[in-house]
Amino acid sequence: MSDLSTRYLGLNLKSPLLASASPLCESVENIRRLEDHGVAAVVLPSLFEEQLELESRSVDNDLARGSDSFPESANFLPDLQNYNLGPDGYLELIRQAKEAVQIPIIASINGISGGGWLQYARLMEEAGADAIELNIYSIATDPAVSGSEIEKNYIDLVKQVKRSIRIPLAVKLSPFFSAPANMGVRFDEAHVDGIVLFNRFYQEDFDVGEQLPETRLRLSDPAELLLRLRWLAILTPQARCSFALSGGVHDGGDVVKAILAGADAVQLVSVLLRHGPRFLVTLTESVRKWMEERGYEAISDFRGAMSLDRCLDATAYERGSYQRILQNWRV
């Protein structure tokens, strides 16, 4: 039988299949279900910088007064006190999950600026987290802030978190950098243990009737996988850290593609929300069948087989592929 084991963030995993942050990872009961059906590790939903600063500064009363003064603002103010258990409940979830399951538990923290909230990375480690995923989400709306400033802030933030913990640190990147290859190498030089491609930002739609932003979660579709495959194939030969793919994986073939591009692990959300934890069995069997049909005994036998440094046609990841794709269309 083919061996699906892999190594990600220095952690030995029984397969590359990870459950990424979603409602399925918010309770010990669900985490047990995921483990029972074969998930190799779980990434908990993120604690947000705003939550942590709200608690540390005790400004919730000020926020409440502000929203009362302007009732129309209530729809735009996140209920940070009740989101995903809150800081104390989050640390308790880590402790309980570590007692209940054998798989690694990866905590997640979402922020963009330095500050006192970074102490929670250390608290997550003390609670028993096996690793931390830093989920950086920033919308650059100020035209006075340059791209180089934003990039420097990202690197500085990673260095601060890395200095505060001893467990592995992964950073979940945006696909919107002007030079992703450069950023990947810079994060690697900052001694990050892993890079996750890509952060799937949830965008607001417009309600044209009410003329208000419409916030609704939309699951991913397989087309989103393509951007991730391309940059995995480009980045994995250029950095020593681990890589995970996140977004657009919906069947066993998608998992195989991620590994061929160089992924050490594959993070799953939409497919598990749509089909439930039982679908992990289907994904595992599909990947194993593909390997056995081709004589692969281990994941390492084909990981990165389609990365940039091993591709017979390097233009496939550059302008050449764009031109060939356009030529394929016939009216």
Average pLDDT along the chain, 331 residues, taken 10 residues at a time: 95 98 94 98 90 62 45 42 72 97 96 80 96 86 89 93 96 90 94 93 75 75 92 95 97 98 97 96 98 97 92 63 63 68
Radius of gyration of the chain (CA): 21
**Cβ contacts of residue 203 below 8 Å, gap of 6+?**
none
Pull the structure tokens for residue 132.
């931390």
Q: In the prediction, which pLDDT does 295 show?
A: 97
Judge whether 248 and 278 are in contact, CB under 8 Å.
no
Antiparallel, parallel or unpaired: β 131-135 and 105-110: parallel
Q: In the prediction, which pLDDT does 219 show?
A: 76
Rounded CA separation 119/135 (Å): 16
CATH of domain 6-304: 3.20.20.70
Judge whether 120 and 86 are in contact, CB under 8 Å.
no
Burial of 99 (0-12, 13-18, 19+ CB in 10 A): exposed
DSSP states of 214-278: E-------GGGHHHHHHHHHHHGGG-SSEEEEES---SHHHHHHHHHHT-SEEEESHHHHHH-TT
Rounded CA separation 107/111 (Å): 13
Rounded CA separation 325/82 (Å): 47
Pull the structure tokens for residue 11.
């952690």
Q: In the prediction, which pLDDT does 87 show?
A: 87
E strand or H helix at 57, and its extent?
helix 49-57
Q: Which of 249, 121, 146 is nearest to 197 (CA)?
A: 249
Rounded CA separation 331/325 (Å): 14
Largest CA distance in the chain: 67
Judge whether 156 and 194 are in contact, CB under 8 Å.
no
Q: CB-side exposure of 165: number of CA atoms within 13 Å?
A: 31
Q: Where are the domains of the chain?
A: 6-304
DSSP states of 139-191: ----TTS-HHHHHHHHHHHHHHHHHH-SS-EEEEEPS--S-HHHHHHHHHHTT
Q: CB-side exposure of 271: number of CA atoms within 13 Å?
A: 28
**Cβ contacts of residue 182 below 8 Å, gap of 6+?**
none
Burial of 116 (0-12, 13-18, 19+ CB in 10 A): exposed
How many angstroms from the chain centroid is the CA of residue 304? 20
Q: In the prediction, which pLDDT does 68 show?
A: 44
Q: In the prediction, which pLDDT does 60 show?
A: 46
